[in-house]
Structure formats: structure tokens, C-alpha cells
Structure 1
Amino acid sequence: MTLKRRRYKVCLLAFLSAFLLTGKANVKAQPAIPAGQVDIFMGVDFNYRDILHNGRVYDFLINLTPGIKWNMGKGWQVAAQAFVPVVNQYGDRYKKVRLNMAALSKEFHFDGRGFLKASGGLFGSERYGLDLKGMYIVNPWLALEAQAGLTGYCSMAAGWEASTMERVTALVGADFYLQRWNTQFRARGGRFIYEDYGAIVEAMRHFNHCTVGIFGAHSNLAGNNGGFKVIVMIPPYKRKRRKVNFRPASNFRLTYSMEGANYGNRTYATDPEENEREGWFDRKAMQWGSNTMQPDFTDKEKEGGRR
């Protein structure tokens, strides 16, 4: 890495830090899928790496990501997503159309303070198995969270590759929400999917339909790392109740990491649209953080109430 590139990265992180700590903000989350509805959506998975290879400065991997969600009601949901390569400079391993995620989940809510989500199936980061996520809201500015998983490796990129389900992941942490500035601080630590131990600290500033954040991480496997994240919610922000709904993916998420080949502090997603902005649980049920983080309903839904 050249000195010029190092300075560029330092300046970019400094700019994002200032952006997080100044000005006014507002945040709105996407509405959850109504009970009984099937959502069919399409997104794009964009990857690049800045290495010299075959005369190219950058290699690109771009996948279409068709997905489906079925909200069965009472907290039950089925979700699946596939990868369809359209540009591949990463090699033969990434050229196949393949299933990326297929999971069944169930949410439990306890008096508006406790939240639990159990999931099973094929997860992101080429993992499969069982996962349990929990959150307890202490007060309007503090929430405690935990995650535990028992997973194995599973990939369909080059045929069927899988390992036994014996790797344990366990994380605990806390979220701090400053409502005046719509700024969230998050700290987690524990054991990650490559059996490394470490911690991640994040600061996120929420705006109307966008979240910008920076993070720092440490792992005994990969040392120190850092970067920034940008999450942009994609219209339509108001959704009507239909039996079958076609739409784009709910969000665009960009993550920049200083250590691109870092195998430490890795986690997996259990929902194809999971992101740090909306969290793990149904925002209709969770009354925490800014009031403007609650779902935006159509006029018809407001008149008829939440079903």
C-alpha cells in the first residue's frame, strides 16, 4: 500500500467520523412484511478486489440476488436467496448459479422489552445450522444483545461441499442510542465463525432513509481492522398489503474494510436482507431508539390498525 493510499483512507475515515457527529438526523425503517404475504425481490451483490492479476488493477464479481420471503404469521418466516453471476473475474469457483441462503425463523416478543429469534437452515457466509439471537431493552438508550450459533460449512459454488455442524459461535454486546442525534453505538465481543476471539465496536448515524457508520475490530486470528459502512433503504418505503408482492431488495449495503482478506471477526446473516440499520427483529414490535425508526404504513393500514 502506498503512502498516498494510506493518507486517502485516513482522510476518508476522518470525514465519516465528522459526518457522524455533526448536524441533525432522522431515520425511518422499512415496514415488516404483513402476515400471510409473500415478497419476491431482486438485489445485486457487488464485489471487487484491488490486486494486480492478468494485467487488471481490479477484479469484479457481480451477482444478481433474487430472493423470496413468506411471512407465515405469529413470528414465523421462510426466506431464501440465490446468486446469479453476471460478471465474474474471480475464477471458476464463482461462475455457477447457486443457492446462497434458505432459512426458517421464528420470533418471540416478551412485554416489549425482550426479543428472541431462532433460525435454522442455510445462512450467509457459507454456513448452515442453528442460530439464536436475543435482545433485552433496559431503557430508551440502552439495550443488551447476544447471539449463539452451531454451524458447519456449506457451499454450492463448486458442487456440494459441507462439513459437520460442530462450530460454536457466541457473541454478547450492548447498544447505546443517543436519541437527540439519532446516533447509535454498538459493541460486541466473543467467538466468531472461524473460531477466533475478538471484538467489534461501531458508531452509526441514522438519517431519514440512510445510515452511515464506522467500525473498528480486533481478532486474535487477524489482528486489527477497521472501515466504514453505508446502508441506503430502497423505495418503495410504503408497501400495500398484497398476497404476493414484487419489489427491489429493501436496502443497499456497502462495507469498506482496510483489510480486504481479513478472516477475523466474521459473522453470518440469517436473513437475506439483514443489515445493521434495521437490526434482527420486527420494528413494529420493538419500541426502542428513535420513534421515527418505526415502520411507515399506508393510510389504509393506519385506519384499519396493525393486523
Structure 2
Amino acid sequence: VTFDLVGRSNLINRSGAQLIGVPPTGAIDMAGLLNKRYELGRLVGQALSDESYVQDLDIPEDETAEIKVPLRISTFPLLETSGRRIGVITLIKDITEVVSLERELRTAERLTSLGTLSAGIAHEIKNPLSAIDLNLRLLESEVLENVHDGDTKEYFRILREEIGRLNAIVDNVLRFSRPSSAPGGPVDVAGILQRTVDLLAHTCRERAISVDVRIEADSCVLWGDASGLQQAFLNILLNAIQSMHEAGSIRVSLDISGGDGPDRSCELTVQDSGCGIHARDIERIFDPFFTNKSGGTGLGLSIVHRIVSDHKGTVQVSSAPGKGTRFVVRLPMAAQEVLS
């Protein structure tokens, strides 16, 4: 986009017009630009008034803009052949994919380092925990031979229950920290998804949650670990269920994206009507031990991210408080020659 010295655009291409939110044949002045994209307008105004230019400056999504995408901005002086300045050239680039890749990289780095640390801690805890469990059972059998009151039995029951909970947490930590070791094979994603939904049918009925499942793909087969993928789908659906404190709905769909090309993928979408997630928490939901749920371990979605990454896939989340949450998981499909 080029602006003259009074701040009115005199040349704008189709992509620039779309990102700003004006017709391709239209024009925009500084007041309009500040109204549509304030930070972009401020940078152009700064270049016009102070001759202060920027190069590859990233600005975050603008919630007030028509197209909510992060931008990379560069401004340069627009000069005549004589060298006289007659305006400002502004380069605007949509960096949604760059930001997404950077976020994935940061998440992967955090998960790798935390996974190594968590595995060491879990192994250190597992051995003494097993010893405590064994000795508790021996003690219980001795004590209850001579003591028959209900309170003592209840104390032992609580201790066993809490040791079981600790064991479950440690097992989750180990599951998160180690890559999948299960042998790969052809996986019918639609079949796994339907079985996972069936597993949770009773829970959903009890909580008055309706589940709408739409499987649009006739054949969605990939090469991977069926057990691991079922665990990932289960964790996503449990997250959706737990986000609703009263009756609600979950929409689940499975389709194929990418046409017939090399990017052909199984695409699973899970949309719930739950409480939603604050924007400040979106980037942290895959971090181990991060949770806003009372009694949660913060490992469910970390395990999802690990399993999906092991299958060379991606998982994306969009959400807003009070408007529910949408998970989109994309898993590369196996080539026909691999399946054969």
C-alpha cells in the first residue's frame, strides 16, 4: 500500500485491501486506517510525520479488525527519481502460518524438556509408591484380623484409594513423557472415533449432554498406533464433557482434507458448548500440569499433543469464554502403497 504525504492511500493491491478491510478499488485515509487497524495506522502515521520507519515488525491479531490475523509490517519512504520524498510504501504480510509454526515449536520444546524431567521424577516416585502399596496391604490384612470396626476399614479404604490416584498420576506422567512404542499398523480412524464416543455415551446421558457425530469420510485410514489415537480422542472428548457444568452439546465430525494430494489428511473436529478458554491460556493448555480444573492433573491435553505429534499430525484450538471450544486434529493419511 502506498500513501501520499497527507496520509491518503493512492495505490493498494487486492491482498492489502483485504487485510485492511477496504474494497480493492477503494482508498483509505489515516483516520479510516486508525479506525480499521489502529496499530498499522500508528506505524504509517509515524513514518509520515517523523520519517521513522520499521522493518518486519510483527503486530498481533486485532480483535476489532474484519480479518483477525497477525501481521508483519515494513514501511519505507516513497521517493521520486529526484530523491524527493512523496509518501510512504507499506508492506503488509499475513503471518498466521508463521505464528502457528512458532507456537508449535515452542510447545514442542517445552514438552520435550518437561517430558525428560517428568520421566525422571515419575520413576523416582513409582518405586517407593509400589512399596507403600504393598506394605499397606500387608498391614491391612494383619490389622483387620483383630480389629473389625468400620472406622478402621474406612481408613484403609481411603489410603488405598489415594495410593491408586497417585499411581494413576504417575502412569499419566510416564505415558506423556515417553514416545509411543506400540507397533504401527493400518488404523481405521472412523472406527476408533465411534468406539470412543460409545465409551462415553453413559457419562453424557447422565450429564444431559447431547453428542452429534458426523462421519463424512468413507475411508479414513492411516498408519499408526490405534491404542494411542483412542487415548487422544478420549482425552479431547473428556475435556469437552468436563468443560460443561450443566446440560450442553458436543458436535464431532470426521472428514478428509487436502484432496488427493500429498497433504491428504483425516480431519477430526470436536466442538463443545462449554465454558470456553481465555485467550491468555490457549498457548498453555498443552503444557504438562497446566489446568484450571479442580482436581485435574493437567496431563490430558499434553498427552493428546504428544500422540498427535508422534503421528506427524497437528492439533489446533480456538475458544472464547462462554462460547465453547473447538479442537481440530489433522492426521496424515497413509498412502495406498503403504497400506498394501
TM-score by length of 2: 0.24
Structure with the bigger RCO (C-alpha within 8 Å, sep 6+) is 1
TM-score by length of 1: 0.26
More helix by share: 2
